[in-house]
Structure 1
Amino acid sequence: MANDIVELKVEGMTCNNCAASLNKFLERKGLEEVYVNFQTKEVRYRETASGIDREKVRQGIHKLGFSVVDEDSDAKGPWWTLERKLLVSAIFTFPLLMYHFFMMAGVELVIMENYWFQMALCLPPFVIGFLHFGRSALSSLKGGVPNMDVLIFVGSTAAFVYSLVGTLLWEANYIFYETSATIVTLVLVGNWLEKRAVEQTTTAIGELTKLQVETARKIMPSGAVVTLKREEVKVGDTLLVNEGDKVPLDGQILEGEAAVDESMLTGESLPVNKSAGDQVIGASVIVGGSVKMEVTAAGRDTVLSQMIELVKTAQQDKPDIQRLADKISAIFVPVVLSIALLTLLLGHFVFGLAFGQALMNAIAVLVISCPCAMGLATPTAVMVGVGRLARNGILVKGGQTLEVFSRVKKVVFDKTGTLTTGDFRIRHIEYHQPDEAQANALIYKLEQHSSHPIAQSLLREMASRVNGVAVELQEVEELKGRGLQARDQHGHTIRLGSDRMLPPQVAGEPGALYLIENDTLLATITLADDIKADAAETVAYLKSQGKSAVLLSGDQEAKVAEVAGYLGIEEYYGAQLPEQKLERIAALSAQGPTAMVGDGINDAPALAKATVGVSLSNASQVAIQSAQIILLNGKLEYLRKAFGISEHTVLTIKQNLFWAFAYNIVAIPIAAMGFLNPMWGALFMAFSDVVVIGNSIRLRYKRIKS
C-alpha cells in the first residue's frame, strides 16, 4: 500500500559507500524518506504511488550485491559467512605465504616450484575475493560511489592474471600468486575485525532494544488478568505491574504505589516513588510495590521507542566536519586508480623498472589506499557518542547537533521549571479580615477548578489549612491571565488572582495573589518558587568553560532579577511575551551558536527557534518534537554531561579524520616509490579501519569531566 513505511534488514553492506550506493538506488526509484545504515544493517523507506513495489526493491538490492534478510528466515543467517570465507582463504594462502618467506631465507621446496600447484593453491582465495569484492565493487560503480573494494578487486586480479601469464610462459619473474592470495586474505581479516568493532559501536541500540518488554498483564473488565504480547496492548488498556516487573509501556498509575527504577532510561540512579496520577515510562522497573496503570502510549509513540529511533538515525544527519571527507571520498577511488596507473607506466617506461616490479608497485598503491577510514571516521564516533548520551538519559537528534552543540558559547535558560522547581510554595498569607479559616477554605475550593501549576501547588499547601470548613461555590470560571471567579451560597462574588482582579481603590503589587469578596480584600498571598539545587553549579560550570548564561522569562522583571542575581547571571530579560522571547532568541542565535534550555512544553517555539533546543521535560512528546537535545531526567546537571560528551565526540571525529587523511597522504607515495610490498600494504590497509573504529570505541569508556 502506498505511503507505508517499509523496514528491511540487509546483509552485505560493509561501509558508508555501500550505504550511499543503496541509498541512491532507492531514491532513483521514486521512494521517499530513505534511510540506510550499514552499521545496524537497516534499510527504511516510505512507499509512494510513483515508486517501485517491494519485490522489485528486493531484486534491485540483490543486483547491487546485497541480500535482504527475511524475518521468517533462519536467524543464524546465510551459511557462507565472512568468517567461513576468511577461514577457507587463510588455509590455502598459508602455504603460499610460507613458501615466499622460505625463499627469502634461501630454503627451497620442490613442490612449490611448480607454478601450476601454486595456481591451484591461489585459486580458492582468488575466487572468494573475486566474488566477494567484485560484487561489491560492481555495485558501488553502478551506484556512482566507487568504494575500496574496487581497488582490492583490481589489485588482486592484476596479480593473479599476471601470474597466470607467467605460468603459461613458465617465467619465474612473473609469478606473484602469493601476493594475490594474501591481499584477499588480509583484507578479509580487516573486514572481520571491522565487523566486530562496528558491532561494539552499536551496543547502545542493542541495550535499548533489549529493554523492551515482550508481554504485559492486562486487567479485563471482568477483573480477570490475561497475558498479551506487547504489540497487542492498546492505548487505554489497564495493566497490572508487580514488584520486580518491567513497566510494559508508557502510562499513568491508576492505583497503588511503587518505587520505580528509571536508570536505564533517564540516567537517574535512585528509584523514584510514584503513586496514583504519576506517569511511568515503559521499560522502567518496579523495585518495590505494585500498581495498576493505564496505557497512554504504545508502539512508536513510547519514550523507549523514541529513544531507539533517535539513536538509530543519529548518523544520518552528518556534521559539517564530515562534508570535506565525503567530497574527497567521492573522488578518492578514481584518483587512486590514476596514481596506480601512473606508477606502473612511469616505473616501467621512465625509470626503467621491470614490468613485474612496476606492476607490484602499482598494486601496492591500490591495496594500501583506504577510503573506508574516511567514511567510518564520523558515523562510528557519532554512534558511540550518541549511545553514551542515551545511556545517561540524554537524547540527541543527529551528528550535526553534536557538532553545533559543542561550539555553543551562549546558553539561554527559561526560569520557571528550568532554573526553578516550578513547585510554588506559600511564603506568606496576610489576612485582611478576621475569619482566616473561611478565607483558607475559599482559596482551596477555588483552586480545585484550575489546572495551572500555581493552583496545583496552592492546593497541596492549603489542604492542611482548611480545618474542616466547607464552602459552596457556583458559576466557577477561569479568567485567562487574571485568575478565578465564582459565586458563593449567599450570592457574593468571590475572586482569586493577580493584581488585575483588584478593585480600582485597592493597590496591589505584581506577583502576589489576592482573595476578594465583592470589592473587599480578604487575603494577600505571597508565593515563592525555589531555585533548583543544581542551578548555581550549572551556571558556574558554564562560566568555567567560557560560556555565558542568559535568563529569559515571562515572569515579572523583579523576580527574574532576583533569580539572576542569586545565580550570578549577568544578562537577563523579564516580562517577555512569547513573541518577544522568539525575537530575543533569534537575535542571540544570529550572534553565534546559542542553546535554549526550557521545559519543552510552553517553551516549544523558543526551543525550535534556537540554534540548539535543550528540553528538560521528562518524556514530553512536545519536547522530543521541538528540541534537538532532550534530558529525560529533567536535571540541569546532565546539561554538563551533554556538553562534555558532545565536545569529546567531535574531538574523536577530528582525530579519526586526521588519521584517515594522514595515513593515505603518507602511505600512497611510499607504495608508489616501491618501498612497500603489496602484502604489507594489504596488512596496513586492513588495520587502518580498525584504528579509526577503535578510537571511536575508546570514547565509550573514556573518562569525561563534567
Structure 2
Amino acid sequence: MNQEQKEREAACCSNDRLSQEIPVQTGCCDTRDRSRETTESHPDSSVLEYRVDGMDCPSCAATIEKSLKKTDGIQSVEVHYATGKMAVGADDAAVHDAIPKQVRKLGFEAAPLQEGKSRETYNVQGMDCGTCAMTIEKHLSSLPDVQDVQVHFSTGKMQIEHVSHPDTIRKEVKKAGFDASLDRGTREHSQEEKKKIRISTTTLSGIFLMLGFAGSFTALPGFLVTVLYAAAVVTGGFKPAKAAFYALKSGSLDMNVLMASAAIGAALIGEWFEGAMVVWLFALGTTLQNRSMERTRASIRSLMDLAPPEAVVLEGGKQVRKAVEEVGIGDVLIVKPGEKIPLDGEVINGSSSVNQAPITGESLPVDKQEGSTVYAGTVNENGSLEIKVTTLAEDTTIAGIIHLVEEAQEKKAPTEAFIDRFAAVYTPVVFALAVSVMVLPPLFGFGTWGEWLYKGLALLVVACPCALVISTPVAIVSAIGNAAKNGVLIKGGTFLEKAGRIEAMAFDKTGTLTEGKPNVIEATALHGSEEGLLAAARTIEEHSTHPIALAVTAYAEERGIPAENGSHFQTMAGKGAAASIDGIDYFAGSPAWFQEMDVFLQEAGQRMQTLQEDGSTLVVVGTRSRVLGIIAVRDTIRAHTAQSIQALKQTGLPETAMLTGDNRGTAKRIAEEAGVDRSFDELLPADKVTAVRALQQEGKRVAMVGDGINDAPALASADLGIAMGGAGTDTAMETADIVLMADNLEQLPRTIRLSRKALAIIKQNIWFSLLTKAAALVLIFPGFLTLWMAVLSDTGAALLVILNSMRLLRTQ
C-alpha cells in the first residue's frame, strides 16, 4: 500500500466517535478491499480476516499492527479500529493459528472470521423478564451453527453470530416461545410493530375461565365445568409450556417453568379452577408487562421519527422529492420554514433559526447562516435554507445517538449485576424448598399430600424473581432514554448510578464556564470620542486574524462603527498591529509596546491596573505621540453558567469547584460570577488531575466537567467524566462517561436530578419486590395465600415495578 493510500485510509477511518461506534462496511475502510489489495501485494501469502475485541481507541489498533508485523512469517497486517476487524497476510496456516494467542498477549481477543459467518441484530418480542433472555441465549448457544449470542432484555435486542439462514434463527427463537425479527433500523422496526396483528390467546383463555366459573354456580354438569377450565389452561398455557420445555432443555429455571409446573400440579390434584386462574393471570400479566416494556423500549426509537423520511433535493435547477436513504453526500437539500431538516449538512445559502432541542436539548433556537452545521431531526423555524449533505442517512448524528444509547442501555449497572447474581441463587433455593415442602411433611405424617402439594405449588410461583430482576434494568432504560431525548448521552447504567451519588463537581473554566474566546468588555476614550477610538481600532485590527483583533473588530461592527481608509497594514508578533490612517501611523497593541515607543500612559494608569487585576487583556490604541484610549478584552462567562450552577446546588450537590490556569484574581472573579464554591488557580493541564484527586482525598465522589479536548486526563481521573459540546466535538464523545450534546451546561442539573430519581426508583423497586416475596412466603404456610393469589402477587409486582420505572420517562 503506497503512502497516498495510507493517508486516504487514515482520513477516512478517523472521522469521529460516531463513525468509530458504527461499523463501516463500505468505502475506503472496507477490510475486504484491503484484503484483496494485500493479496495482490504478496501473492505467496494467504490472507485471513479476524474480529478483534477489546480495542477502545485507534492507538490499540496501531499497537497490534506493530507487534504482528515483527512476527516471522507475517507479510502484512491491517487493523481497523472503526470496524473491529484485522486482515493478516501470512506464509502458511501455522502462522495464522498462532495469531489469536499473540494478540491475547497484547491484552486483546482475536477470532478468525469464518466464510459465510454473519453477525446480526434481531428484535425479540415477548420477553418480560431477564430469565427469558437467559433461556433464549442458552437454547441458541446449543446450536452448532451459532458461534456467539447475546440477548438484552432491557432493549429487547439480540446480537448473534452464526452461519445459518436468518429464518432458522427465527424458528429457533419461536421454539423457545418468543418472536424474533431482523433489526433493519429503528424506523423500520417502529413501523413493523404498528402493522403487527397479535392473536390473543389470553382473551380466549379468559373466556373459558369465565364460562367455567359461571357454570359452577348453575346446573351445568361438573365434568363440563372441568372441560372449560381445562380449555382455559390449554389455550392460555400452551405457549408458556412450550417455552418451559426449551428452558428446561437448556438448563434454565425461568418463570415459564415455574408457572407451567404450578398449573400442571393444580390440575393433577383436581384444582382445575386454581390451575385455570394461574394460567390466565400469568398470561394477562405477561401481556401487560410486554406492552409496558415495549413503551419503555420505544422511548429511544421515537427519536428516529423526528427525522423526516423524505427530502427535497435540488437537481438541475428542479426540486425533486427523494427518500433520505437515496440522498448522497454532496447533494443539495431545500428546507423551507417550518420543515424538519432530513440529514446532517452544511448551510450553503440562506439564514434561519433552527430548533436543535431533539439533538442538544437547548431551550432556544440557534441562528444558522452560510457555513453553519445543521443536524437531521432539527426544525427550521423561519428562513429557507439550502443545505449540502455531509453524512448519509444511517450515519447522521441522531442515528449515532440512538446507536450509542441502545449500547448504553445494554450495559449492566453494578446494582443490576448484583440482583442477577442474587436471583441466580434465590430461584433454585426456593425451588428446592418447594419440592421439600411437597414431599417431606406428608412423608413424616404432617398433613395430607394434597395439602402440602398445593403449598409447594404456591412456593414455586413465589420462586419466580421476575419483579426483582427487572427492578433495575427497566429504570435504567427509561432514564437513559429520557436523557437522550433531551440532548444528554449517558453511556451506561454504571454512569447513571455514579451521577446520582456525586458529592462534588469540578469544572474546567475556559470553554466550559466561559465562552472560551475573548470579548470586549469596555472601551475607554482618553482623547476624542469612543466612536473615533473604535473606528481607528477596527481599521488596524480588521487585517489581523488574532482572536483579540477579531473581538475588537466584532465589537465595533456590532455598534455600526465603520473602518476608516487605512494603508501600510502590519502585524508585530507579541506586540500588536499598526496601520497608516490619513498619513499618520496608528498602533493597537500591548501597553508594553507603547512604553517602548515612550508614549505617555500615566493618565490611564489607575484604570489599566484595575482592569488587569480583574483579568482583562488591554489593547492600547494611539499614535507615536499620544494614546487615544484603552480597550479591555477578556473571556466572559456563558449565558447559562450561573443559572446552571445555582440549579445544581438546588439538586443537593454539596460542592462545586473551578479548575483554571489563570491567575488568582481572574479565577476569583469568574468563580464569583459563576457561583462556584471554590477555585483552583494557576494550574497546568497536568495539575487539573492533581486538583481532582485532592477533592477525592477529601472523601468526595467527584465529577469533572470539561469540553473533552484538553481535559481528557482530568475526565479520566474523576469518578465521573462529563463532556459538553458533543454535537460538535468528536473527542467529547470518546473520553466522557456522560456527554452534554449542547455547548452549554443547561441540561446538567436536569441530568443530576434524573440520576438521583433513578437511584430512588431502583431502591423502591428492589424493596417492594423483596417485601412482596417475603409477605407471600409468610402467608403461604398458614393457608392464607391461594395459588392464584400467589400468581397475582408475582405478576402484579412485576407490572408495578415496570410502571414505577416508567415514571422516569416523564421526569423533567
Q: By how many angstroms is 1:242 displaced? A: 0.6
1:350-370 per-position Cα deviation (integer Å, ceiling 9, x unaligned): 453221222111111122443
- Offset, 1:646: 1.1
Say if 1:337 and 1:387 are closer, same or farther in 2 by CA, change over 3 A: same
State yes or no: 1:41 paired with 2:148. Answer: no
Q: What is the distance in 2 between the residues matched to 1:395 and 1:692?
A: 24
| Counterpart among 518, 539, 543 of residue 441 in structure 1 | 539
- Answer yes or no: is the 8 Å Cα contact 1:250–1:281 preserved in 2: yes
Where in structure 2 are the equivalents of 1:635-674 lying within 5 Å? 635-674=744-783
Match of 1:512 in 2: 617
Please list the CA deviations of residues 9-40 of structure 1 after superposition, one character each: whole Å capped at 9, or x if unmatched. Answer: 22332322222344567788898996633354
Q: Any idea what the Cα deviations from partners look like across 1:215-270, whole Å, max 9, x if unmatched?
A: 112223x3333222212233333211111210112222221121222334434444
- Tell whether 2:124 aligns with 1:10: yes
The SS at the match of 2:308 is coil
Cα distance between partner residues in 2 of 1:14 and 1:497 = 70
Note the C-alpha offset of 1:537. 3.8
Root-mean-square deviation (CA, aligned residues, Å) is 4.0
Deviation at 1:304, TM superposition (A): 1.5
Secondary structure of the residue aligned to 1:318 is coil
Distance across 2 between alignment mates of 1:80 and 1:534: 48
Matching residue within 632, 635, 656 for 1:529: 635
1:188 aligns with 2:283: yes
d(CA) in 2 for partners of 1:628 and 1:155?
45
| Structure 2 unaligned regions, length at least 5 | 1-31, 33-50, 52-84, 86-117, 602-607
Check if 1:469 corresponds to 2:469: no
Deviation of 1:399 after TM superposition, in Å, equals 1.6
Equivalence for 2:506: 412
Cα contact 1:601–1:620 (8 A) shared by 2: no
Q: Would the aligned equivalents of 2:660 and 2:680 in 1 still touch at CA under 8 Å?
A: yes
Q: How many residues are paired up?
A: 666
Take 1:582 and 1:487, find their aligned partners in 2: how far apart are those partners? Answer: 45
Cα distance in 1, alignment partners of residues 294 and 175 from structure 2 = 26
For the residues of structure 1 that align with 2:242 and 2:506, how far apart are their CA atoms? Answer: 53
Q: Which of 295, 308, 313 is the aligned partner of 1:218? A: 313
What is the match of residue 209 of structure 2? 93
Residues 445, 471 of structure 1: 8 Å contact kept:
no
CA drift of 1:401 comes to: 1.3
- With over 3 angstroms needed to count, the CA separation of the structure-2 counterparts of 1:438 and 1:91, relative to structure 1, is closer
Q: Which among 264, 278, 282 is matched to residue 157 of structure 1?
A: 264
User: Residue 6 of structure 1 aligns to a residue in which SS?
Assistant: strand
Deviations 1:507-560 (A, max 9, x none): 997862668999999996531333234433433444452421111123344311
Q: What residue number does 1:573 align with?
A: 680
Structure-to-structure mapping, 1:28-427, within 5 angstroms: 36-44=151-159, 52-53=163-164, 55=166, 57-58=169-170, 60-70=172-182, 75=192, 81=198, 84-99=200-215, 102=217, 109=219, 111-112=221-222, 114=223, 117-118=224-225, 120-141=227-248, 145-160=252-267, 162=268, 174-220=269-315, 222-350=316-444, 352-427=446-521
Asked if 1 retains the 8 angstrom alpha-carbon contact of 2:233 and 2:280, the reply is no
What amino acid maps onto 1:655 in structure 2?
Answer: Q
Q: 1:556 to 1:361 in 2, by over 3 A?
A: same
Unaligned 5+ residue runs, structure 1?
Answer: 103-107, 163-173
CA–CA separation in structure 2 for the residues paired with 1:245 and 1:279: 17
1:694 aligns with 2:788: no
Identity %: 28
Q: C-alpha distance in 2, partners of 1:520/1:655?
A: 76
Gap change, CA 1:233 and 1:111, over 3 Å in 2: same
Return the letter of the residue paired with 1:66.
Answer: F
Is 1:588 matched with 2:695? yes
1:663, distance to aligned residue in structure 2 (A): 0.9
Q: Residue 445 of structure 1: SS of its match in structure 2?
A: coil
- Contact 2:258/2:464, CA 8 A, preserved across alignment: no
* Contact in 2 for aligned 1:539/1:567 (Cα 8 Å): yes
TM-score, normalisation: structure 2 = 0.72
| Residues in 2 aligned to 1:26 and 1:501: alpha-carbon distance in whole angstroms | 77
2:551 corresponds to which of 457, 461, 470: 457
Provide the C-alpha distance between the structure 2 equivalents of 1:79 and 1:291, rounded to a whole number of angstroms.
38
SS at match of 1:289: coil
TM-aligned CA distance change 1:657 to 1:217, over 3 Å: same
